[in-house]
Amino acid sequence: MCIRDSNTVDLNKQALKASDRLDCYRFCQAILARSSNALVIFDEVEEILSDGSFSEFGFKSEKGFTKGLLNTVLETNSTPAIWITNTVRGVDPAYLRRFDMVVQLNTPVERFKKKIAWRVFKDLPINESVVERMVRHKKVTPAHFEKVNRICQRIGVSTPEEAGLVASKILNGDLKAVHAGPLETARPEKKKYRIELPYRPELINCDADIQALTQNLDVDTSVRICSFGPPGTGKTAWARHLAESLDKPLLVKHAADILDKYLGESEKNTAEVFREAEKTDSVLMLDEVDSFLPDRANASRHWEITQANQFLTAMESFEGILICATNLKDNLDPATMRRFDFKINFDYLQTEQTALIAVDLLEALGVKVTKSQESALCAEFRNLELAHGDFAALLRRYSAMKAKPDWRQLVEDLKDEANYRNVDQSKAIGFMAELE
């Protein structure tokens, strides 16, 4: 394919007027009219398409052509063309409707930006932490990567430290110019105090084959999943594992992120959350979904019903993977359950699962476990209701204290965690107790 770019400057490198640029475009169209394999690129068309209400830096320019002429140009296009602009603000709607397609190109999502960045920086010595900071900033685009790489190559950057310094100076200058915040400051490397346990889906106790679901779920599907069960049973961990398996980001939102005391704001927040998930191509996880979808039969205010209806509408129209999690399934509106394609009940660990996670925890801390001790663990855990969250809490405690408990100490600590959960939560505490 032959591609022609309509120039913005003349032979003397002087900026062309809008009328001259349009003439150049019409000339390209004329000479390529008989070509069956050509494409014209017309860049920076803001001034061409302006309706006169907006002009750069507040100055209006004389276009030198009539609206009728431009309409004719758009309607009699002989060679396929792409008109490019940074904004449609101030563009006459009459012009826009004459295009066959109007496409908005947003900044790529983080996972794609990262792939582009490393492709651009393949010959540049640059630290991964610097690239991560660049990728995370919403106002940094692939064009910035090209700019950083070009300047670094031109001045002969030879070390990761120099590349990071140059990248920060260039990008922070650009970001400040468009009134955007700077890149995140480099954080000093900290020694991890917490040891992570490996994610093992076979050690999650639920009534569905989540391994098969994770492996077979279509990455481009639209599906709604309800995960319910006691706290700490692995609902969020599985959602994170599913997103990683699909190579998608995970967007987690809680009730506090959406619900608002002001009338109508919760509905706006709901719509914005779903838009964000679609824009970033994320697996969307909504925790505490019983707060969004309470039983409407018990609703005493009109806005409660409106809020639930808005959420259901957004949920049904969402073109992506939605996971709704709750610890209180019985509080959900019964009519909502039929809207979920999968309903997965996460429960406390089985005895054998508990023992295996206990062994994982001890070995992660550098404590060896014998076969006889594994059998003893099974016997001790037989009548305990334990969840992954109990092990996570103890692992953080042991890691922070650099402790190496033996298996007997671990058993006692886990029993304490189970007892804490069984404490009567209905009894008022603090100043509320004084009111009784």
Q: What pLDDT is recorded for position 149?
A: 93
Task: Give pLDDT < 50 ranges for the chain.
Answer: 4, 53-61, 189-193, 424-436
CATH level 3 topology of 201-345? Rossmann fold (3.40.50)
- Average model confidence (pLDDT) for the chain? 82
Q: What pLDDT is recorded for position 424?
A: 46
Per-residue H/E/C for the chain: CEEEECCCECCCCCECCHHHHHHHHHHHHHHCCCCCCEEEEECCCHHHHECCCCCHHHCCCCCCCCHHHHHHHHHCCCCCEEECCCCCCCECHHHHCCCCCCCCCCCCCHHHHHHHHHHHCCCCCCCHHHHHHHHHCCCCCHHHHHHHHHHHHHHCCCCHHHHHHHHHHHHHHHHHHCCCCCCCCCCCCCCCCCCCCCCCHHHCCECCCHHHHHHHCCCCCCEEEEEECCCCCCHHHHHHHHHHHCCCCEEEECHHHHCCCCCCHHHHHHHHHHHHHHHHCCEEEECCHHHCCECHHHCCCHHHHHHHHHHHHHHHHCCCEEEEEECCHHHECHHHHCCCCEEEEECCCCHHHHHHHHHHHHHHCCCCCCHHHHHHHHHHCCCCCCCHHHHHHHHHHHHHHCCCCCHHHHHHHHHHHHHHHCCCCCCCCHHHHHHC
pLDDT digits (tens, 9 = 90+) for 120-129: 999 999 999 8
Calpha distance 250→215 (Å, rounded)? 17
Q: What pLDDT is recorded for position 426?
A: 43
The alpha carbon of residue 17 and the mean position of all alpha carbons in its chain are separated, in whole angstroms, by 42
CATH level 2 (architecture), domain 110-177:
Orthogonal Bundle (1.10)
Q: What pLDDT is recorded for position 296?
A: 56
Q: What pLDDT is recorded for position 431?
A: 36
Q: What pLDDT is recorded for position 434?
A: 43
Q: What pLDDT is recorded for position 125?
A: 92
Q: What pLDDT is recorded for position 186?
A: 60
Q: What pLDDT is recorded for position 418?
A: 84
pLDDT digits (tens, 9 = 90+) for 328-381: 888 887 778 888 999 999 999 999 999 999 999 998 888 988 888 888 888 888
Q: What pLDDT is recorded for position 433?
A: 43
Whether the CB-CB separation of 347 and 230 falls below 8 Å is answered with: yes
